[in-house]
Amino acid sequence: MEVELDKPKVCGTCGARDAPLKCPCKAVFYCNAECQRASWKEHRGECTHDLERKLEKDRRRLEGNDPAIVVALFSLGHLYQAQHRLAEAEEKFLEVRRICLPVEEGWGWQNAAAVSSRLGCIYEDQDKLDDALDMQKQALRLYRRVTGDDDDVDVAMTLNSLGSVLARMGQLDRAMAKHKKAHEILSRLYGDDHPSATVVLTNMANTLTLQGREEEATAVREKALGTYRCSLGSESDQVVGTLVSLGNSYAVQGKFEEAHGKFEEALATVRRIHPERNPLEATILMSMGQAQVDQGKLDDAVAMYNKAYRIYRKTIGVETLQGACTLHSTGVVFQRQGKMEAAMEKFNEALAIQRRVGGGEHHDVATSLLNIAVCKNMMGDPQGAVALLREAEGINRKWGSSDGNAQNVAAFLAILEGELSGSGGG
């Protein structure tokens, strides 16, 4: 998969737009060869094209299980994962596992554990939650073999990752137990105010939200915000992310004035940290848009979503799941306003991007299919709606999804099939 099908063509050296020269690694553009040479020293360590060539040379020169090859594979996998080239990242990490698992020494199991955890994160991003859970469990077992006990940062962070997967699978009590165990370990090792412990706190808050315990989640997020400010300072992306989460918490509770204050503080901070447009700004605007929807201010919400979409387009490109989410959210507002044709246009645009970027069986595809089906039914095409709902149901069944979206698909499909059967139109 490409890094992004419509990556903004900003020169990696001088920042000029519409740079025509693309590095073979597909991750950066340049105005010309001069700009490319000027940045080569900095870019060389992140150029996957150059690193792949070096890896092939190492394969010819060294034995297949040489530690140098493992390091090269791991570095490439990390870069591909950061660029959201997940299939290529998976390939590299799986090869590291194949090399390292038979090596019953510390370095072998340590590397196998590290890539297993990363594979778990990749599978979670792809909504392959059973595979993600299995990989994180394997990583945890390997880390425990290496360390001999649980008082280890890698064990703690893997427990945290396990909790995140379990939360997405709806196993919220088990998820919270993993997060609490991880937080206890990190607090013993580094203290409550360490950034790693704070990362776990934010995941605990997310699980509390899923459990419907929003006031408790808000209190945990306030604590996380305070510890981030103490450890990292107020001008950090972590502080911005926590402010947004807090704003969302207050909005869920109907405390829109408090929510607006957090969102505005997050916007001001991200604009100071990143004078150029940044995707975080769009993320904040998306949350602000949802708060407007919750208050019934639908035109204001559309304005927020449109601005967020423009920022995503300028910073990370149109062909991203974030951009698709923005289009989808706009479609939901149009749907609520009764503008079914306009909603269908946005949903279909989002769906096309989701299929290209995430694959035809991504969870977001099922969500878009559901909303398009609602529009079709409202516009007098129940048969077309049923066809889309059956496709969505197939996606949900493949991944074992049982969340609210999957339940809505199943319920709506049952209603329409019953109506069509009764009228002889099925």
**How many CA within 13 A on the CB side of residue 302?**
13
Query: pLDDT tier at 1 (50, 70, 90 boundaries)?
Result: very low
Taking only the tens place, the pLDDT of each residue in 336-356 is 999 999 999 999 999 999 999
Q: Which domains does the chain possess?
A: 1-40 (no CATH), 47-129 (1.25.40), 343-426 (1.25.40.10)
Q: Quick one: tokens of 193?
A: 């105010």
Taking only the tens place, the pLDDT of each residue in 347-382 is 999 999 999 988 888 889 999 999 999 999 999 999
Rounded CA separation 215/209 (Å): 9
Dihedral, CA atoms, 131, 135, 137, 139, nearest 10 degrees?
-170
Q: Is the pLDDT of residue 196 over 90?
A: yes
The answer to whether the beta carbons of residues 11 and 23 sit under 8 Å apart is: no
The answer to whether the beta carbons of residues 78 and 60 sit under 8 Å apart is: no
Taking only the tens place, the pLDDT of each residue in 13-54 is 888 878 889 898 888 889 999 998 898 888 888 899 888 899
